[in-house]
Amino acid sequence: MKFSLLLSASALLLGSSALRATEKPLLAVTGKVLYENKFDSELGAQWKSSKGAWEITGGVLRGSEKPEDKHGAVTRLPDKLSDFVFEYEFKFEGAKATSLSLNAAKGHLARIAITPKSVAIQKDDMDHEGPDKAVVFARFAADFQPGIWHKVRMEMVGDTLLGKVDECVAWGTNAQFKQERTAPGLTVGGQSVEFRNLRISEASLNPAWAEVQATLPKPGEKMDAPPARPAGAKSPAAQ
């Protein structure tokens, strides 16, 4: 995996290490930081924004859908990932949906899909043509009010995915997760969502994963009712 933005400030590295040290490992034990961007000064030339408007404003990254696109706003890092931990913070500023999306070499692979009223952690339908289908590992009811920061974390080791949004945590396995993983990205449906403090780290399996796993809902066990979708609105999984 290659990123063109290098960490140049030793204080930033120390701060990141201290933060990780206080976090209890879940699926993964974090290793070397591969990429870090606070989004306080620039998005970075390596990001590819195919849809929507993306700008640094007020020391954060703001993503907004453009009505003329007829598609959610999307920005991605076009890089390959081995086992990883992907973390960032977000807050709703009027949007109806956002997600952390991960692709395979061809098509979608997995995502954490978030609306103001729900969190879904899932394997994606890769091409919407079959035979594979999306598999939701868990869906949580939520209440994300505008202007309040929340934390997102995606971990993937081998064939296992773990997603976490604040205290909503779920996991699932799928053989497709072992294939090439690429182009992690942020999506926004509507206007707007703000992002900050993004970090991608190497990962290895937590030796205590079996014990952690026993404390979490089994895949498909936590399935709160999805919020009603406005007429004509697209699913976050389609972005």
20-32 per-position pLDDT tens digit: 445 789 999 999 9
Higher pLDDT, 98 or 15: 98
Residue 2 inside a domain? The answer is no
Evaluate whether residue 210 is within a structural domain.
Answer: yes
- Whether 1 has a pLDDT exceeding 90, the answer reads no
Share the mean pLDDT of the chain: 89
The answer to whether residue 3 scores a pLDDT higher than 70 is: no
The pLDDT value recorded for residue 239 is 57
Residue 45 lies in a domain: yes
The CATH number of the domain holding residue 104 is: 2.60.120.560
Residue 211 located in a structural domain: yes
Give residue-wise pLDDT tens across range 175-231.
Answer: 999 999 999 999 999 999 999 999 999 999 999 999 999 999 999 999 999 877 655
46 by Cβ neighbours in 10 Å (0-12 / 13-18 / 19+) ranks as middle
Amino acid, res. 9? A
Query: Quick one: pLDDT at residue 209?
Result: 98
| Residue 29 pLDDT | 98
Give percent of the chain with pLDDT exceeding 90.
Answer: 79
Task: Determine the structural domain holding residue 89 and report its residue range.
Answer: 10-238
The per-residue pLDDT for 79 is 92
CA dist 156 and 159 (Å) reads 7
For residue 47, being part of any structural domain is answered with: yes
As separate numbers, helices (DSSP H) first and strands (DSSP E) second, the chain gives 2, 16
H helices present in 134-207, as ranges: none
Per-residue pLDDT at 8:
36
Tokens representing 196? 């900050």
Give pTM, 2 decimals: 0.87
The yes-or-no verdict on residue 234 having pLDDT over 60 is no
**Number of domains comprising the chain:** 1
Q: Domain for residue 1, yes or no? A: no
Residue at 4 is within a domain: no
pLDDT grade, residue 93 (50/70/90)?
very high
User: How many angstroms separate the CA atoms of 212 and 237, rounded?
Assistant: 28
Q: Looking at 20-34, 74-88, 145-159, 164-178, which range is the least confident one?
A: 20-34
In a domain, 95, yes or no: yes
pLDDT of residue 4: 42
Report pLDDT for 5: 40
CA 167 from chain centre, in angstroms, equals: 15
Q: Going by C-beta distance under 8 Å and a sequence separation of 6 or more, which residues neighbour residue 1?
A: 34, 79, 80, 81, 82
- 54-66 pLDDT tens trace: 999 999 999 999 9
| Mean pLDDT value across residues 145-161 | 98
Average pLDDT, stretch 92-107?
96
Helices (H), the chain: 10-21, 209-213
What is the structure's pLDDT at 11?
Answer: 37
Residue 18 pLDDT more than 80? no
